[in-house]
A = this chain, B = another copy of it.
Amino acid sequence: MTDCKFSSDAEVIAFARDNSGVFQAGATLGVEEIGDGNINFVYRVYSDDGTSVIIKQALHYIRIIGEGWPLSQDRIRIEAEALQQEAAFCPDLVPRLYHFDAERFAIVMEDIGAHENLRHALIARTRLPLLAEQLGRFTADTLFHTSDLYLDAHRKKELVGRFINPDLCKITEDLFFWDPYCDHERNNINPLLWDEAEALWQDTPLKLEVARLKYRFLTCAEALLHGDLHSGSVFACAEGTKVIDPEFAYFGPVGFDVGSLLGNLLLNYAGQAQLPGSAAERSAYQDWLLETIAGFWNTFSGRFDSLMTEKTQDPSLNLPLYRESYLADLLADSIGYAGTEMIRRTLGLAHVADLESIEDPQQRALAESQVLKLGRAMIMQRGQFGTIDALIAFVRAN
Please state if A148 and B317 are interface contacts (CB–CB under 8 Å).
Answer: no
Q: Which of A164, A214, A222: most chain B CB closer than 10 A?
A: A164
Please state if A160 and B164 are interface contacts (CB–CB under 8 Å).
Answer: yes
Q: Which of B164, B218, B222, B321 contacts A208 (CB 8 A)?
A: B321
CB-CB nearest in chain B for A165: B157
The verdict on A221 contacting chain B, using a C-beta distance below 8 Å, is yes
Q: Which of A154, A166, A204: most chain B CB closer than 10 A?
A: A166
Contacts of A178 in B (CB 8 A): 314-316
In the complex where A164-B160, A177-B316, A214-B316 touch, is A322 in contact with B153 (Cβ < 8 A)?
A: no
Q: Which of B161, B181, B204 contacts A164 (CB 8 A)?
A: B161
Please state if A207 and B316 are interface contacts (CB–CB under 8 Å).
Answer: yes
Chain copies in the assembled complex = 2
Please state if A148 and B316 are interface contacts (CB–CB under 8 Å).
Answer: no
CA distance A148 to B178 in the complex (A): 15
The verdict on A194 contacting chain B, using a C-beta distance below 8 Å, is no
Contacts of A156 in B (CB 8 A): 218
Please state if A166 and B170 are interface contacts (CB–CB under 8 Å).
Answer: no
A251 to chain B, nearest CB (A): 8
Please state if A182 and B221 are interface contacts (CB–CB under 8 Å).
Answer: no
CA distance A154 to B316 in the complex (A): 33
The verdict on A49 contacting chain B, using a C-beta distance below 8 Å, is no
Please state if A317 and B214 are interface contacts (CB–CB under 8 Å).
Answer: yes
Please state if B182 and A153 are interface contacts (CB–CB under 8 Å).
Answer: no
Contact with B along A180-212 (1 / 0, CB 8 A): 011000000000000000000000110110111
CB-CB nearest in chain B for A160: B164
Contacts of A204 in B (CB 8 A): 319, 321
The verdict on A92 contacting chain B, using a C-beta distance below 8 Å, is no
Please state if B182 and A166 are interface contacts (CB–CB under 8 Å).
Answer: no
The verdict on A110 contacting chain B, using a C-beta distance below 8 Å, is no
CA distance A219 to B319 in the complex (A): 18
Contacts of A160 in B (CB 8 A): 160, 164, 221
CA distance A164 to B214 in the complex (A): 22
Please state if A322 and B211 are interface contacts (CB–CB under 8 Å).
Answer: yes
Contact with B along A137-179 (1 / 0, CB 8 A): 0000000000010000110111011001111011001000110
Please state if B177 and A157 are interface contacts (CB–CB under 8 Å).
Answer: no
CA distance A157 to B177 in the complex (A): 18
CA distance A127 to B178 in the complex (A): 48
Within 8 A of B (CB), among A249-291: none
Contacts of A314 in B (CB 8 A): 178
The verdict on A215 contacting chain B, using a C-beta distance below 8 Å, is yes
Contacts of A211 in B (CB 8 A): 316-317, 319, 322
The verdict on A4 contacting chain B, using a C-beta distance below 8 Å, is no
Please state if B221 and A219 are interface contacts (CB–CB under 8 Å).
Answer: yes
The verdict on A220 contacting chain B, using a C-beta distance below 8 Å, is yes
CA distance A154 to B182 in the complex (A): 23
Please state if A322 and B148 are interface contacts (CB–CB under 8 Å).
Answer: no
In the complex where A214-B317, A319-B211 touch, is A154 in contact with B177 (Cβ < 8 A)?
A: no
The verdict on A2 contacting chain B, using a C-beta distance below 8 Å, is no
Q: Which of B158, B210, B212, B221 contacts A166 (CB 8 A)?
A: B158
CB-CB nearest in chain B for A322: B211
The 6 closest A-B pairs by CB, nearest first: A154-B166, A157-B166, A148-B218, A211-B322, A211-B316, A208-B321
Q: List 11 A-B contacts (CB under 8 A).
A: A160-B164, A178-B315, A178-B316, A205-B321, A208-B321, A208-B325, A210-B316, A214-B316, A214-B317, A219-B221, A220-B221
A residues lining the B interface (CB < 8 Å)? 148, 153-154, 156-158, 160-161, 164-167, 169-170, 173, 177-178, 181-182, 204-205, 207-208, 210-212, 214-215, 218-222, 314-317, 319, 321-322, 325-326
